Structure 1
Amino acid sequence: MTLHKSARDLLAGGIFVAFGLAFGYASYGYDLGTPLRMGPGFFPLALAGFLVLLGLVIALAGVRNTEDAPLGAFPVRGFVLIIGALMVFALTIKGLGLAPALFLTVLLAAFASRRTKPLAGLVMAVALPAFCIAVFIYALRVPVPLFGPWWPM
């Protein structure tokens, strides 16, 4: 199946716009606050606006581009591993705690790409949680336990 590059860009732009609108709608359930005293809904709304803007720019580029290019196969492996990683995090954060849940999440997400070597995936699965722990637990003092009740310690 061959589509114009413009069709690919229009599809990608539409997906960005749809996600941006959905997150923007969801952010209105929280207090927005003001730019000086931001509420919990301010940042998600700003991020949603950025997604919509990015989607419109990508779609506009698609309208201007008329080159032929194959659409390519749908990356089933990547899709399953990324969605699976998000689900593992959601299901294990309370039971395992932040450190092991992040380790598992990053490890699964790292192998969504066929180009990731096992050592590189392991390095990412150690380094990214270490960075998140430093930022969220120690710097921002977010009250999330490092290890949960499921962890055998």
Structure 2
Amino acid sequence: MNIKSQKDFFSGLMFMGVGVAFAWGATTYSVGNGARMGPGYFPLMLGVLMAILGAAITFKALVVETVGGDKIGKWAWKPLFFIILANLVFGVLLAGLPIIKFPAFGMIVAIYALTFIASMAETGWKFKNTFILATVLAVGSYLAFVLALKLQFPVWPAFITG
């Protein structure tokens, strides 16, 4: 069998792998049914849909001819590094690291750090645009998670709120 688009083929395999992993992981929870959904229902359905989508993309990559075979390019190491770093820093700033007595800095500081670090992955990023984006994300997250959903986690650093 001839792969006609490498990008689509491997992205389809990735979608199938992640979908199967989610669906399999969801079976450890109570799934329930459509009328009485359990905690495993949504991840199971999401996993099944991702696997089906991946199968469709993989099939298309094997059937539909593309110009030049849609070869996979070189790894983009800089964006990969900054996106992973941004997520790690977000988690540490949001919850802290009790093992080394690093305090939680709260949601607002964590969102600003996440946005600024992740935007460094882009070539030619601008401070003003990143600041506006971080502010919109912080305000939106505060409204959604703290005010609307009433989730209990630190919003500001402990040295500010006491």
Corresponding residue for 2:11?
12
Distance 1:5 1:119 in 2: 42
Normalization by structure 1: what TM-score?
0.82
Corresponding residue for 1:60?
59
For structure 1, list consecutive stretches of 5 or more residues without a partner in the other structure.
none
Please give the secondary structure, in 2, of the residue aligned with 1:78.
helix
Structure 1 position 124 matched with structure 2 position 107: no
Question: Which of 103-112 and 81-90 deviates more?
Answer: 103-112
RMSD over aligned Cα, in angstroms?
2.2
Determine which structure has more spread, i.e. the larger CA radius of gyration: 2
Corresponding residue for 2:74?
73
Distance 1:113 1:82 in 2: 10
Distance 1:16 1:115 in 2: 31
Please give the secondary structure, in 1, of the residue aligned with 2:5.
helix
Shift, 1:44, TM fit = 2.2
Identity %: 26
Q: Is the 8 A contact 2:4 2:65 kept in 1?
A: yes
Q: Check 1:32–1:85 CA distance in 2 against 1; reply closer, same or farther (3 A cut).
A: farther
Please give the secondary structure, in 1, of the residue aligned with 2:74.
coil
Normalization by structure 2: what TM-score?
0.78
Distance 1:142 1:37 in 2: 24
Q: Check 1:38–1:103 CA distance in 2 against 1; reply closer, same or farther (3 A cut).
A: farther
Distance 1:148 1:29 in 2: 36
Corresponding residue for 1:31?
30
